[in-house]
Structure 1
Amino acid sequence: MTDMDPAAMTTAPITPEALPDLETLALLVAIDVQGSIGAGARARGISQPAASARIREAEARWRLRLLERSPRGSRLTSEGRTVVAWSRRVLDEVQILTTGVASLRSDREATLRVAASLTVAEFLLPRWLGRLNARVPDLRPRMLVVNSAGVEELVRSGAADVGFVESTVVARDLLVRRVDTDELCVVVSPEDPWADRATPLSGADVLSRRWVLREPGSGTRRTFEDAVGGEPACALEAGSTAALLGAVVAGLGPGVVSRRAVQAAVEAGTVREVFTDLDLTRPVHAVLRPGRRHHGHVDTLVGIAAAVRRES
């Protein structure tokens, strides 16, 4: 066999005709292990004539003699043994590739990446995931907690398999499924001028004060501004419900927050709820990226979320 320059072997373009057939390589290895073409064919689950035809086709393609044929049987030539040595390496690497790909796929399928806005993550998603775990114990959900705009971006980029937001407006480039409803309420400190107010707040009342609000991009803030029909003055932007309530208790101004999030504080008297004539209800949506094959358990989780709402 003619020696080849190793550099030429690595840089020469591979044509489709030169690509090795993996089954032929496996057959050659089996012939080497079993000691004959007949035994090698049986090990690969094919007939001896089919094995002979496959070897002849490879010899014609590569212009090499791989087997010495005689009345006593066939055995590998020196070129054949060299090809077998290379074949073992190729088949080992293919096994690594297929095993690795399967591992990546199973890991991805075992991990469900769920992005959720703060209210959903704190008060709704844990219950949904608990029910999902009861159905699919081996699934490993990963929760990504950001504001509503962040949820949409994570889904859009593919970094999350599904997102949940509580907002009246969702980006039009995403698929939207309504799963629940949330309601906001206005709260103040017990010392606030509105603490004992008897009449509901109007939009004009809202715009007369400076507010403790969530950051821009938050579904809570977006819903509040839509209901008011403007942008209330902001005394403090809070990145979490706890920070918002702390600022309200400290007297920085009235705040608006999910009723779910503030119920305990209202019952404890830490803050007072102030009623309004605004529509502060908002849908909770599941959002998905269109045109993308969804994780196998996305529909299960979305269905659970909708079912929990119907039970409530």
Structure 2
Amino acid sequence: MTPDVDVQTLRLLVSVAERGSLGAAARELGMTQPAASARVRAFEARWRVSVLERSPRGSRLTEDGEAVVSWARTLLHELETVRSSLLALGEERRTGVAVAASLTIADLILPRWLAELRARRPQVSPRLHVVNSDTVAAMVRDGDVDLGFIESARTPPDLAARVVGHDSLALVVAPGHPWARRRTPLTLEELQAATYVVREPGSGTRSTFEAALRRQPDVVLEASSTSALLGAAAAGVGPAVVSRRAVAGDVERGRLAVVPTELDLRRPLTAIWDRRRRLRDAAADLVLIAAEASREA
């Protein structure tokens, strides 16, 4: 097999061209002049070319040497580009973490987790994508993010997962709605007969409600925003199903009322990642922080 080109000797020859002498080039690269001379002789013998003319007045590049230096400059520039890119990539892998989270988690829970991650790892710069649970899983599969958080009762079987907490949904209506004064839980049959203001398909809230209702709900309004759902419910468009965390303030102010039901509307909060890829340190820390916060709650 043909040996690779000696990059250090190429650096030496480029330095000779820039400094005007082998001695000056050797000093720039931290070599002794005898060592530099030996390198050049070995290079010439290996490639059967003469690159330097030596004389009592010093050394200068031959015509072949000038050609080698021209090629070397191009190669060394590309090597520097690769080196810089690798350093930048390594720094990004060390300090960056891309996270996708479903709406409820991103709005109401994840900010506290990210604040704790920042306290533990000040050098980390997270990037957050707020999408529904199905899209979170797709982004994890595609490698667009390192880590995802979903609030769906169904965990994608092809992804690694860890439950880091729990949440529950609430059925809410405007104060003037007939259900607002309900004291006994609504039955499954009553709930199946109603129409709702709900999140879009693919959201964890929607899938949890559908599983509890045992069918797809009749929808009067579909929205991808929790604030839009709450606004529609408060305006009397219809009952809405949202996280209890998200509606607590509106219930306290009397803008909405929680309706008791027979449904089990609890759901896990789950961290998901690609089992084929090792979690970055920052992402692994974020999973631990989320689990710790749940135990302390």
**TM-score, scaled to structure 2:** 0.89
Q: Tell me, in whole angstroms, the C-alpha distance in 2 between the residues paired with 1:240 and 1:33.
A: 63
Asked if 1:125 corresponds to 2:140, the answer is: no
2:123 counterpart residue number: 138
Q: Which whole-Å CA distance do the structure 2 matches of 1:18 and 1:89 have between them? A: 20
1:155 touches 1:288 (CA, 8 Å); kept in 2? Answer: yes
**Partner Cα distance (2:226, 2:60) in 1:** 77
Q: Which residue of 2 is the match for residue 59 of structure 1?
A: 44
SS of the equivalent of 2:263 reads: coil
Contact 2:95-2:282 within 8 A present in 1 as well: no
Aligned to 1:185: 170
Larger mean CA deviation between 287-296 and 114-123 belongs to 287-296
Counterpart of 1:155 in structure 2 is 140
Q: Secondary structure at the match of 2:180?
A: coil
Corresponding residue for 2:82?
97
Q: Give the residue type in structure 2 aligned to 1:29.
A: V
- 2:196–2:218 contact (8 Å) kept in structure 1: yes
CA offsets 1:124-157 (integer angstroms, 9 cap, x no match): 0111111112222232222211110111111111
With 270-279 and 76-85 compared, the bigger mean Cα shift is at 76-85
1:85 shift after superposition? 3.6
Answer with 60-69 or 163-172: which moved more.
60-69
User: CA offsets per residue over residues 263-303 of structure 1, 9 Å max, x none?
Assistant: 11111111111112222111101111121243331011111
CA contact (8 A) 1:213 1:244 kept: yes
Q: Is the 8 A contact 2:98 2:145 kept in 1?
A: yes
Higher mean C-alpha deviation, range 257-266 or range 25-34: 25-34
CA drift of 1:18 comes to 8.5
Over the matched positions of the two proteins, sequence identity in percent amounts to: 50
Contact 1:211 1:254 in 2 (8 A): yes
AA in 2 matched with 1:23: Q
Cα distance in structure 1, aligned partners of 2:42 and 2:21? 18
SS at match of 1:195: helix
Structure 1 match to 2:262? 277
CA distance in 2, matches of 1:62, 1:276: 85
Moved more, 70-79 or 181-190: 70-79
Which of 26, 29, 45 is the aligned partner of 2:14? 29
Q: Determine whether 1:83 maps to 2:68.
A: yes
CA distance in 2, matches of 1:292, 1:54: 44
Deviates more, 1:195-204 or 1:282-291: 195-204
Deviations 1:75-102 (A, max 9, x none): 5333223322432343233223322342
CA shift, 1:196, in A, is 1.2
Contact 2:113 2:289 in 1 (8 A): yes
Q: Which moved more, 1:168-177 or 1:118-127?
A: 168-177
Superimposed CA distance per residue, residues 214-248 of structure 1 (whole angstroms, 9 cap, x where no aligned partner): 11001001011112222221121121111111121
Which is further off, 266-275 or 85-94?
Answer: 85-94
Which fold has the larger relative contact order, with Cα–Cα distance below 8 Å and residues 6 or more apart in sequence? 2
Q: Which amino acid aligns with 1:147?
A: N
* 1:115 maps to 2:100: yes
Paired residue secondary structure (1:297): helix
Cα deviation code 1:16-42 (max 9, x no counterpart): 848633222112224445655566445
Task: Say yes or no: does 1:227 pair with 2:212.
Answer: yes
Give the RMSD, CA atoms, in angstroms: 2.5
CA contact (8 A) 1:223 1:280 kept: yes
Unaligned runs of 5+ in 2: none
1:57 to partner: Cα distance: 4.1
Distance 2:205 2:234 in 1: 19
Where do 1:8-23 residues align within 5 Å?
17=2, 20-23=5-8
